[in-house]
Amino acid sequence: MAITPLMPVYPRCEVEPVRGEGAWLFDAQGRKWLDFASGIAVNLLGHGHPHLTAAIQKQAATLMHTSNLYGSPQQRALAERLVSLTFADTVFFTNSGAEALECAIKTCKAYHYATGNPHKYRILTFSNAFHGRTLATIAATDQEKLRKGFEPLPDWFTVLPFDDLAAAEAAIDDSIGGFLVEPVQGEGGIRPASREFLHGLRALADKHGLLLMFDEVQCGVARTGTLFAHEQYGVTPDVMAIAKGIGGGFPVGACLATERAAAGMVIGTHGSTYGGNPLAMAACQAVLDVVAEPSFLEQVKQTGARLRAAIEQMMPNHDHLFDHVRGMGLMLGIKLKADSRAFVNHARSHGILLVAAGDNVVRVLPPLNIDESHIRECVERLSAAAAAFELPKAA
């Protein structure tokens, strides 16, 4: 048999962690890596955080799962907390970010159906976006690596240049129901949207009766130094998908919406077997206990600024490789002058885990509770990796 027991859809690397402690991962042989990938922006509190671990252990021993056929005091409490912390009036819990995006897309379609405009089924999205790997969410991007082999896909999306407000305005017609956008693109290369772009989309949505949907699966939940990235722009959406960090490592996501936007999401229109089970809700509550505190958010901003400054100070020593740093808070991207995936692979041999992104960018996504020692380790390991990295020879 040629195929592996694990379906071979990931190019898995040589790192096989069996234990985590704070910002460090260890394998069975005791080798360790500084984890500045955080499970791709998931492990907000690092590995083995005592408050998160205790909350999950306590809930696992109490009640792990029932069904959404029954009432859920755990879901109700977390939904009320998220509503109190955000623009939203209502929340649907999912198992992942892609499911949260699916719910957002359905919310938009259902809104226009419920308000007598079923023809407004199309959604405007933006180039190099990553919204997940379900059929609907890969249809929402123009990335060939995600779409190849799966077309034809649902024809509900028009993909426009990112941060191009004029293109967005020109694409609006009577079939358009809303915008879907990441305030800070993650997989697309750590590209923050401009203030003018997000404010412009809000204005266009209001003018044309469209819904503005934010994908904060990667940039949300304190990653950028505010609880959600859009807060720094002063723009609020009608619908927002979140996941990754909200569970701190437990698989959970959520679709948040205003009462108006959720007008079509009535009984029978949506559901989930596992979404919002008590174990997931306990994990989310524990994460929010830590990251929703104003002092913690301020610390993320300050730590992000220090990490960015330390990387920028190191970069001139390797100006053959590094170009510039961009991003917000502890969602940073280093633009390279060489292939970012090759450098990420190489950096593992110097004991640091990073994530490649589009546009030749290396994502730096540490746990949010790192300290100065982790910043020093990061820069030392990055610098050592850069010094030993061999640029491909010109053809």
Dump pLDDT digits (tens) for 73-96.
999 999 999 999 999 999 999 999
Q: What share of the chain is helix, strand, coil (3-state, %, to 5)?
A: 40, 20, 40
Question: Residue 272, annotated ligand binder?
Answer: yes
* Separation between Cα atoms, residue 307 and residue 379, nearest integer Å: 8
Is residue 395 pLDDT above 60, yes or no? no
Show me where the domains of the chain are located.
Answer: 17-49+294-388, 63-292
Question: Residue 21, annotated ligand binder?
Answer: no
pLDDT per position as a tens digit, 260-270: 999 999 999 99
Mean pLDDT for the stretch of residues 273-289 = 98
The superfamily (CATH) of domain 17-49+294-388 is Aspartate Aminotransferase, domain 1 (3.90.1150.10)
Tokens representing residue 100 in the block: 């949260």
Question: Residue 285, annotated ligand binder?
Answer: no
Tokens representing residue 203 in the block: 């204005």
Is residue 51 pLDDT above 90, yes or no? yes
Residue 110 contacts residue 269 (beta carbons within 8 Å): yes
Q: Name the pLDDT band for 16 (thresholds 50, 70, 90).
A: very high
Is residue 390 pLDDT above 90, yes or no? no
Q: Please report the pLDDT score of residue 79 as a whole number.
A: 98
Q: Please report the pLDDT score of residue 344 as a whole number.
A: 98
Q: Is 283 exposed, middle or buried (0-12, 13-18, 19+ CB in 10 A)?
A: buried
Q: Please report the pLDDT score of residue 391 as a whole number.
A: 79
Question: Residue 243, annotated ligand binder?
Answer: no
Q: Please report the pLDDT score of residue 300 as a whole number.
A: 98
For the chain, first and last CA: distance in Å? Answer: 38
Tokens representing residue 245 in the block: 């960090």
Question: Residue 377, annotated ligand binder?
Answer: no
Angle between helices 278-291 and 73-85 (to 10 degrees): 30
Q: What is the DSSP string of 243-286?
A: -GGGGBTB--EEEEE-TTGGGG--TTS---SSTT-HHHHHHHHH
Question: Residue 349, annotated ligand binder?
Answer: no
Question: Residue 359, annotated ligand binder?
Answer: no
pLDDT per position as a tens digit, 203-253: 999 999 999 999 999 999 999 999 999 999 999 999 999 999 999 999 999
* SS3 label, residue 143: coil
Question: Residue 295, annotated ligand binder?
Answer: no
* 353 beta partners: 35
pLDDT per position as a tens digit, 132-168: 999 999 999 999 999 999 999 999 999 999 999 999 9
Cα-Cα-Cα-Cα torsion 101, 105, 107, 111, nearest 10 degrees, comes to 160
pLDDT per position as a tens digit, 162-194: 999 999 999 999 999 999 999 999 999 999 999
Provide the phi-psi class of 337: left if phi over 0, else alpha when psi is between -120 and 50, else beta.
Answer: alpha
Q: Please report the pLDDT score of residue 1 as a whole number.
A: 83
Q: Please report the pLDDT score of residue 394 as a whole number.
A: 57
Query: What is the third-level CATH fold of 63-292?
Result: Aspartate Aminotransferase; domain 2 (3.40.640)
Q: Name the pLDDT band for 345 (thresholds 50, 70, 90).
A: very high
Is residue 276 pLDDT above 90, yes or no? yes
Question: Residue 206, annotated ligand binder?
Answer: no
Question: Residue 133, annotated ligand binder?
Answer: yes
Give me the phi and psi of 61, to 5 degrees please: -85, -10
Alpha helices in the chain (DSSP H): 38-41, 50-60, 73-85, 97-114, 135-139, 144-147, 165-170, 195-208, 278-291, 294-314, 340-347, 372-388
Mean of pLDDT over the chain: 97
